[in-house]
Structure 1
């Protein structure tokens, strides 16, 4: 009986153990990472709507002065179907009747897709989370865990090269830091 209890305790702790963190740069092929590292710094300090990125069809208007890596949809095939945990910031797209966010983009830095330019498609993950999560502050970081899929998503706000049906979404807490 004691062995059964120890086994159940071990299984329970493993079931609640989190996946190791995946770095956003791991979502980019090596050539894109290098191009991004070689790119000059981009300012995110401009006011909303005060940019060439805001065209009649939303943020997807391109700036000819930015390198092609800023529009790259190249993915890492080895990540397709892999269970990952990714930290990032939400850009809410759909909510349930309780106001909980059930569909959102996860982005690597706060304000992405609101301020400009939006991240490249291979730095955007569309998260489907039917359980929903209240998102009172889009500047509060989240942990999102689930199976990552190479999937092209395009909407009026941005394009994404990845999607995830999340099994868990939670706010980052002080204990995580």
Structure 2
């Protein structure tokens, strides 16, 4: 009883169903990257898709010649190990035998890795979710909850500066809006 009282005093009483506060994508950017992105000129969204390179190895990676911040892997150290809730859009990477997505890149806007340039690596999160989720539309936003890690990953589509082992992955529903 004393231990339970101590926990309530230290951490406060939260309902068992309480959701984590939403983490904003801009929170994943160190201040110097946020400032550089805010001052960056518009970028044209053409390249791999229109040039027929979509399916090629490295076809969606950042192309040379963009402002340096578009290649940034700088992260926010205070977020390492933090439980977060992040909304975004899926770029499916691996499926299980039932066709559910078990690994994906989460990106801040729809079509982010299809219409180049993709976001900077510090705006891409590699998500692992062993139970898998049926995703039929990559333009349907998701909620992802789990422990965020500063961990670089790279594959044929893009580079990510963060990873997340998801404890929950679900489609955003109309009631969420």
C-alpha contact (below 8 Å) 1:53/1:116 kept by paired residues:
no
Residue of structure 2 in register with 1:172 after alignment: 172
Residue of structure 1 in register with 2:7 after alignment: none
Residue of structure 1 in register with 2:8 after alignment: none
Aligned length: 163
Structure 1 segment 80-119 matched on structure 2, within 5 A: 80-119=80-119
C-alpha contact (below 8 Å) 2:81/2:149 kept by paired residues:
yes
Q: How many Å separate the matches in 1 of 2:41 and 2:72?
A: 16
Query: Given the alignment of the two structures, is residue 38 of structure 1 paired with residue 39 of structure 2, yes or no?
Result: yes
Q: How many Å separate the matches in 2 of 1:28 and 1:62?
A: 21
| Displacement after TM superposition at 1:18 (Å) | 1.0
Residue of structure 2 in register with 1:153 after alignment: 153
Structure 1 stretches of 5 or more lacking a match? 1-12
Q: How many Å separate the matches in 1 of 2:77 and 2:119?
A: 20
Query: Given the alignment of the two structures, is residue 142 of structure 1 paired with residue 145 of structure 2, yes or no?
Result: no
Q: Cα distance 1:62–1:174, how it changes in 2: closer, same or farther (>3 A)?
A: same
Deviation per residue, 1:27-85 (Å, 9 max, x gap): 010000000000112343x4852259867532225231x21000000000000000000
Q: Cα distance 1:51–1:24, how it changes in 2: closer, same or farther (>3 A)?
A: farther
Q: How many Å separate the matches in 1 of 2:107 and 2:166?
A: 15
RMSD: 1.9
C-alpha contact (below 8 Å) 1:73/1:122 kept by paired residues:
yes
| Displacement after TM superposition at 1:16 (Å) | 2.1
Q: How many Å separate the matches in 2 of 1:83 and 1:61?
A: 29
TM-score by length of 1: 0.86
TM-score by length of 2: 0.86
Aligned residue for 1:16, secondary structure, equals coil
Q: Cα distance 1:52–1:68, how it changes in 2: closer, same or farther (>3 A)?
A: farther
